Structure 1
Amino acid sequence: MSALILALVSGGVVGLALGALGGGGSVLAVPALIYLLGFTPAAATTAGLVIVGATSLTALYGHARSGNVRWKAGALFAAAGLLPAAAAGAAASGLPQPVLTAAFAGIAALTAVRMLRPGRAGTGRTPKVRPAGAAGAGAGLGALTGLLGVGGGFLAVPTLVTVLAFDMPAAVGTSLLVISVNSLAALVTRGATAAGLDWAVIAPFAGAAILGAWDGRRLAAKVSGPLLQRIFALALLAVAAFMLADALR
């Protein structure tokens, strides 16, 4: 199968996940770039940030028009995570990759189990934003994002649901704001790794992801919040199992 077709198919799946679930794009994009398209891990991480950042910004616009973005909480959440993400990213360079992969898998699995418990869904009401809670959760998420090298949406959505009591549509929309900020901030520090990127692959990948995100947003509008939450949790479990198997090889 040609690289162009692989890029288009992979991009569509990444966009669908981001548009419908508000996360999972980096978790899907980076392995696809490495295992299907032959990118090095460093190049795949940078390319993934480009793809996920562009797709998240596009999907964010649609969710904002639907009223699913909690701007105040999202801004606090994103801003609080910037410095912890940078510090944790520096610390991660000294840790073996299998350790980081196993930690990623463990956190994803624990988050999925928490979301599958009864009574963890949002209330359906616009929550009262607690600045300390939003900032604390954002800082913790930023540290994990910096340590694990992903956009953070797969953790932002369940955190917004379980810590700030957002309903699932609001968690998805606000997560896209957090992902966009994290991705753009991370790209600023990765100028050296962006020079040799294969834009002939990245451009169609990103284009397909942007189109897929619009389909994902329409899917999210048709599926109930609790069902979408269960789908997200099961997707997290699948990612956790794959990454744990990779770490133990």
Structure 2
Amino acid sequence: MIVTAAAFGLLVGGLLGLVGGGGAILAVPALVYGVGIPLAAAIPSSLVVVGASSAVAVLPRLRNGVNWRLALIIGAAGMATAYLGAMVNRLLDPKVLLAAFAAIMVLAGLRMLRTTQARGGACALPGGGVNWRSCLPKAVATGAVVGFLTGLLGVGGGFLIVPALSLVLGLPMALTVGSSLVIIVINSLAGFSAHLGDLHLDWAVTGTFAGAAMIASLAAGRLGTGIPDRVLKRGFGILVLVIAAYVAVQALMA
């Protein structure tokens, strides 16, 4: 179990470091189907893993790879809704949660595979400025939705934050990855604290998984700065769809 957790930790950390999200898409299924722990424990465990590895992965991007104002606005907006998501989580059947997880992953993956023109948005105008009158409502709404899903499904939200920052808010991938990692750290902290009331973790498995993910995320974070935006987006979308198909099959067979 420990060796399996370490192997999956390297995979999750590598994904986070490269594309700034998607770690929990792998972490939750890996903990449930690969390591063999129940979904109730996998959700808070994944938040520890994703939060810790995201904090390490953002280090190479601290100076020029993060839109700090936007990241903090989105992160703050999601903190309150993360608690609401955790409350709803306790009321739903695990099969329903896994089916919802797969459906959201499909939508996010398809959005990232769509060919879009490189253009600015309200939060990243072509001239480099920000139209905050238009950007702020979108940023707050994005944060609220992602925060809710963080508490509900045990995700840092990166697989939604990356498409939102890139496609909805108009940030280039160079800023999207670093900003997403900061938001994931905030969301993971909020989501984990919302689960403290009924926390039952295998800390040996969680610690091993998180440690391996942190090592891989730091290495991949340095590597990812030299990969073209188009390659990152398409690779991210394909991986999300593959994992979505697997989770959907497992949910139907459960």
Other-structure match for 1:142:
147
Structure 2 unmatched ranges of 5 or more: none
Deviations 1:127-151 (A, max 9, x none): 6252222112211222233333321
Whichever residue aligns with residue 33 of structure 1, its letter is L
* Larger CA deviation: 183-192 vs 152-161: 183-192
Tell whether 2:92 aligns with 1:92.
no
CA distance change for structure 1 residues 209 and 122 in 2, over 3 Å: closer, same or farther? farther
The two structures have a TM-score, normalised by structure 2, of 0.88
Q: Share of identical aligned residues, percent?
A: 41
Q: Which residue of 1 aligns with 2:62?
A: 64
- Residue 65 of structure 2 aligns to a residue whose secondary structure is coil
Aligned length: 245
Contact 1:80–1:135 (Cα < 8 Å) also in 2: yes
Give 1:119's aligned residue: 116
2:86 is the counterpart of 1:82: no
Query: Which amino acid in 2 is paired with 1:150?
Result: V
Aligned residues of 2:165 and 2:171 also touching (Cα < 8 A): yes
How far off its partner does 1:100 sit? 2.5
Whether the 8 Å contact between 1:19 and 1:215 is mirrored in structure 2 is yes
- How many angstroms does 1:102 deviate by? 1.9
The alpha carbon displacement at 1:228 in A equals: 0.4
Which letter maps to 2:66?
V
Shift of 1:201: 2.6
Distance across 2 between alignment mates of 1:160 and 1:43: 30
Displacement of 1:74 after TM fit? 0.6
| CA shift for structure 1 position 156 | 0.6
Identify if the C-alpha distance between structure 1 residues 203 and 100 changes in structure 2 by more than 3 Å, giving closer, same or farther.
Answer: closer
Conservation of the 8 A alpha-carbon contact between 1:169 and 1:220 = no
Give the alignment's Cα RMSD to 1 decimal. Answer: 2.0
Tell me if the contact between 2:74 and 2:144 (Cα under 8 Å) persists in the aligned partners.
yes
Structure 1 length-normalised TM = 0.89
Which residue does the alignment assign to 2:169?
164
- Residues 1:209 and 2:206 aligned together: no
Runs of 4 or more above 3 Å deviation: 120-127
- Matches for 1:1-249 after TM superposition, within 5 Å: 3-65=1-63, 67-119=64-116, 123=120, 126=128, 128=130, 129=132, 130-194=135-199, 196-249=200-253
Alpha carbons of structure 1 residues 19 and 121: separation in structure 2 relative to 1, 3 Å: farther
Q: Relative to 1, partners in 2 of residues 1:108 and 1:36: Cα closer, same or farther, differing over 3 Å?
A: closer
